[in-house]
Amino acid sequence: MAPSALIADEPLRSFLQALHGQSLTQEAGVEWSALPPQTSDAFDDIMRDKFIALDQDKCELVYHILRSIKATTIVEAGTSFGVSTIYLALAAAQNAHAESKPAKVIATEKEPSKAARAQEIWAQAGKKIEDMIDLRIGDLRETLAKDLGEVDFLLLDIWTPLSLPALKAVQPSLRRGAVIVADNTLKATQGYQDLFDYVDAEGSGFKRVTLPYTGGLDMVIYQ
């Protein structure tokens, strides 16, 4: 078994395992090659009852990075039913304790029914998790436009056309040395092209590397 950096008690570990299992089971039933465009209502209709959670190994890597950079202000663009958010909140709570400072996870989801389900799941995950999360329901171009604080970390787990708008919304609040992680960057290279062009541009302040996780996972540093 691959080593894991996750520090979590047993009920939470099993709960996470079960959530990832449910997500994968759902995903196996999706006809990925026949989906409508990501910004269409038809696409949202198909995805409304789906977890499409970040893969478990990627969630654990994100948690590991958050502990390493001692992140206490964390933003998640694309919350769905809030599986990855649990990892963010766990790291935030542990960092808050270690650093003796407040911490928060700003999560955002545009579908109210998905946001409601996320809140139920966080309640099941426990008060320590729930208390860390500031859930903003609505379009991220509005929900992330203000009151972020100084951001240490941004997770881009969102339909690709929303990735660059999410980064631009958060950029004024990013601290130097902040980390941005974007999912499925190899699988969805075309969709990410505008984000890559922006981040890779001379003098952008960003440095990007693609990690060979399934579908690709990009790690960007704001220097």
Q: Please identify which residue in the block is written with the tokens 């040395």.
A: 177
Which region among 26-34, 81-89, 125-133, 190-198 touches ligand SAM (by CB under 6 A)? Answer: 81-89
Residue 91 interacts with ligand SAM (CB under 6 A): yes or no: no
Comparing CB distances to ligand SAM, the nearer of 111 and 134 is 111
- 57 CB-near residues (< 8 Å, 6+ apart): 2, 213
CA distance 213 to 219: 11
Q: Using CB under 6 A, count the residues that bind ligand SAM.
A: 22
Applying CB under 6 A, does 218 fall inside the site for ligand SAM?
A: no
Give 35 or 98: the residue with its C-beta nearer to ligand SAM.
35
Q: Is 79 in the site for ligand SAM (CB under 6 A)?
A: yes
Binding to ligand SAM in span 40-59, by CB under 6 A: 51-54
Asked if 140 interacts with ligand SAM (CB under 6 A), we say yes
List the structure tokens of 166: 């999410």
Q: By CB under 6 A, name the one of 62, 88, 158, 174 that touches ligand SAM.
A: 158
Minimum distance of ligand SAM from residue 124's CB (angstroms): 14
3-state secondary structure of 172: helix
Burial class (CB in 10 A: 0-12, 13-18, 19+), 210: middle
Give the nearest distance from C-beta 48 to ligand SAM in angstroms: 7
Our CB check for ligand SAM shows the closer of 72 and 82 to be: 82
The yes or no reply on residue 139 touching ligand SAM (CB under 6 A) is yes
Q: Rounded CA gap, 184 and 34, in Å? A: 18
Neighbour count for residue 101 (Cβ, 10 Å): 10
**Rounded distance between C-alpha atoms, residue 114 and residue 120, angstroms:** 10
Does residue 184 interact with ligand SAM by CB under 6 A? no
| Selection from 72, 83, 166, 165 nearest residue 120 by Cα | 83
Residues that bind ligand SAM (CB under 6 A): 51-54, 78-84, 108-111, 114, 139-140, 157-159, 162
